[in-house]
Amino acid sequence: MQQLSTRHLLGIENLSPGDIELIFETADNFKAVLNRPIKKVPSLRDITIANVFFENSTRTKLSFELAEKRLSADVVNFASGSSSVKKGETLIDTVNNILAMKVDMVVMRHSSPGAPHFLSRHIQANIINAGDGTHEHPTQGLLDAFSIREKLGEVAGKKVAIIGDILHSRVALSNIFCLQKLGAEVMVCGPATLLPRYIRELGVQVEQDVFRALQWCDVANVLRIQLERQQIKYFPSLREYSLYYGISKKLLNRLDKEIVIMHPGPINRGVELNSDVADSEHSIILQQVENGVAIRMAVLYLLAAQR
């Protein structure tokens, strides 16, 4: 069996194009499993996985937990809000206490960029980054690229516009790395205040006019405004943001071609996406959710082979 070149999934930046293709091929097989009447396989029986989430999560946590259970792993869930972290326990102490209970793999979300990387240097278990601050969200980047491949046949040569709050988004960075490794062209679009100052150094195009970005792209991946990460106001109001950067069916009808609409969730309907777009034939948002389970099954399965 082919193997990944790494024993952790800390970010897309650390993966090779071959690693990504291996994950996609494995996810293809697991997607077939998920469409069977019996959706469970014994691939990770006797493996214990801890979901260690220091930030709130709905889709990602549920998706990982479902992927783990579909692979027959034993699952332990940890939420920092009801843990000894509130009493002053350090990150390493928290995780080492979990590992002392003979946990084999850790799926981790943390508000501090680099937290999974730090942990990987101090513990023996395999670590999967489920989002670290505004840095990366590798499984989201993988499932987004996998969904484009499924919809359009391949990623290479496709034009993908990432639209919205690029500055505070971990999804944007993982998408940029993944899409570029697979041969796609990437553009970022948003207000100047929500675009990182040195974003062009990543080899992406930059656009501030949403219509021009949509006219250029084959796929638009629309990101929400992350108000919970914003310490100052980056634009006057959500109403004004929606007026200039919200995507509606009326705007899509002005294009001279059809494009694919994506969103990593949660959607702020009426802000970055109108319902007539989110629920339209252009949208593959629910396919992204479905593909998330298959991609996470593939990542867990391949990393378990590296133990």
- Segment 283-307, tens digit of pLDDT: 999 999 999 999 999 999 999 998 7
| CA nearest to 27, candidates 136, 146, 133, 149 | 146
Distance CA 224, CA 264 (A): 9
Higher pLDDT, 230 or 17: 17
- Segment 139-187, tens digit of pLDDT: 999 999 999 999 999 999 999 999 999 998 999 999 999 999 999 999 9
User: What pLDDT, on the 0 to 100 scale, is given for residue 229?
Assistant: 52
What is the crossing angle of helices 285-304 and 59-70, to 10°? 50
CB 173 within 8 A of CB 196: no
Mean per-residue pLDDT for 203-218? 98
Pairing assessment for the beta strands 74-79 and 105-110 based on DSSP bridges: unpaired
Distance CA 132, CA 146 (A): 21
CB 172 within 8 A of CB 223: yes
- Segment 21-57, tens digit of pLDDT: 999 999 999 999 999 999 999 999 999 999 999 888 8
Q: List C-alpha distances in Å: 222 to 41, 136, 186, 203.
A: 34, 17, 13, 19
User: What pLDDT, on the 0 to 100 scale, is given for residue 89?
Assistant: 73
The angle formed by the CA atoms of residues 237, 163 and 186, to the nearest 5 degrees, is: 155
Cβ neighbors of 257 (< 8 A, separation 6 or more) are none
Q: What is the pTM of this model?
A: 0.94
User: What pLDDT, on the 0 to 100 scale, is given for residue 151?
Assistant: 97
pLDDT at 125 over 70: yes
φ, ψ at 124 (rounded to 5°): -90, -25
- Segment 67-103, tens digit of pLDDT: 999 999 999 998 766 555 555 778 888 888 888 888 9
